[in-house]
Amino acid sequence: MRSISRVLARKGLSDNAMVRQVQTLFRLSGTKQPNRGFEYNRAITNWRWQVLRSAMKFVGVLLVGAVMAMTASPLAAAHVGAYLDGGGAGETGLITLRVPGESDKPPTTKVEVRIPDDIQIRTVRVQPIAGWTIDITKKKTNPTIFRDDGTAVNEVVSSVTWTATGPGIMPGQFDDFVLEAGPLPDVEALTLPTFQTFADGSTDAWTDTAPEETDPEYPAPSVSLAVGPETPLDGGNGGSGLTSVIAWTALGFAVIAVALGLFAIDRARRSAESASLGATATPRGSEITE
């Protein structure tokens, strides 16, 4: 029968080297040291499995956190979002403004979206919505602009306001406000400052145009006019660049940890097989000594 020393030699370790390695592990953990070769191998395998279980629990937490961050909806973030369907610079597009009812505030009773002073949109048509009245405000053009046929345009749209005739948007709910606007300006992104008024008279001004990486508290909704239709920007969607970075980083670490965990499982399995072989090949009374 082969002795335990042959098993260890096949693994590239001498008896004394394995003993020193195992004794160090037990000394650090404060565990009583066994003195049989089989018990040493079994103890090493158990220790590896304990480390692996702890690592896999940590991986699970990372994966859950990453998935929750990546799948967080605009409503959960309680941000006003804007979405563009069709149209680009110089064309007419359908813009949807999604307004959530914030859980810690009264119902939303008024929504006003303003067109920036440097943007000139000649025509806006609004989709009717039950329980709300709609008011479109215009401003004088300065300087006067002209249509393609040479006709002068003296007014452009400055704001659109929806006012609730009923309870409005209740906390935990949301509503979509749709308008058709054109011609859209020749810019990469159209920012739409929005004011959300609540039943108690307070107002949230969604007007912050800081870079999305800074995760502003009240980001102004915006739609992209440069990357094609139906492509909401992160800021307009109620998310943030910072959240995406954190989520993808966590997911990356989780994938790496899973790979390491699978490698550790394979190592533990091989160690268990070696331990069984050593236990079979070693006489019952054999001991390892330094």
* pLDDT at site 10: 56
Nearest CA to 262 out of 59, 6, 45 is that of: 59
H or E segment at 138? strand 132-146
* pLDDT at site 102: 86
* pLDDT at site 174: 95
138 bridge partner residues: 157
Radius of gyration of the chain, Cα coordinates, nearest whole angstrom? 33
Domain extents in the chain? 42-72, 81-226
H or E segment at 254? helix 241-281
The residue with tokens 């990486």 is 213
End-to-end CA distance of the chain: 22
Chain segment 236-246, per-residue pLDDT in tens: 444 444 445 56
* pLDDT at site 229: 42
Nearest CA to 116 out of 168, 63, 157, 56 is that of: 157
State the average pLDDT for the chain: 74
Q: Provide block-wise average pLDDT over 10 residues at a time, the chain (290 residues).
A: 50 57 62 54 63 67 62 56 86 94 92 93 94 95 77 90 96 95 90 96 93 81 71 42 58 71 64 53 45
Q: Residue 239 and residue 205: Cα distance in Å, rounded?
A: 17
* pLDDT at site 128: 95
* pLDDT at site 25: 61
Exposed (0-12), middle (13-18) or buried (19+): which is 258, by Cβ within 10 Å?
A: middle
The residue with tokens 């030699």 is 9
* pLDDT at site 127: 95
* pLDDT at site 125: 95
**DSSP-derived secondary structure for 150-187:** S-EEEEEEEEEEEEESSS-B-TT-EEEEEEEEESBPSS
Q: Residue 223 and residue 234: Cα distance in Å, rounded?
A: 9
- Cβ pair 121, 201 in contact under 8 A: no
**DSSP-derived secondary structure for 25-76:** HHHHHTPPPP-SHHHHHHHHHHHHHHHHHHHHHHHHHHHHHHHHHHT--HHH
DSSP SS3 for 107: coil
For residue 35, which phi and psi values (nearest 5 degrees)?
-125, 5
The residue with tokens 């994966």 is 63
What pTM, to 2 d.p., does this model score? 0.55
- CA angle 8–13–15, rounded 5-degree value: 65
* pLDDT at site 137: 96
| CATH topology for the 81-226 domain | Immunoglobulin-like (2.60.40)
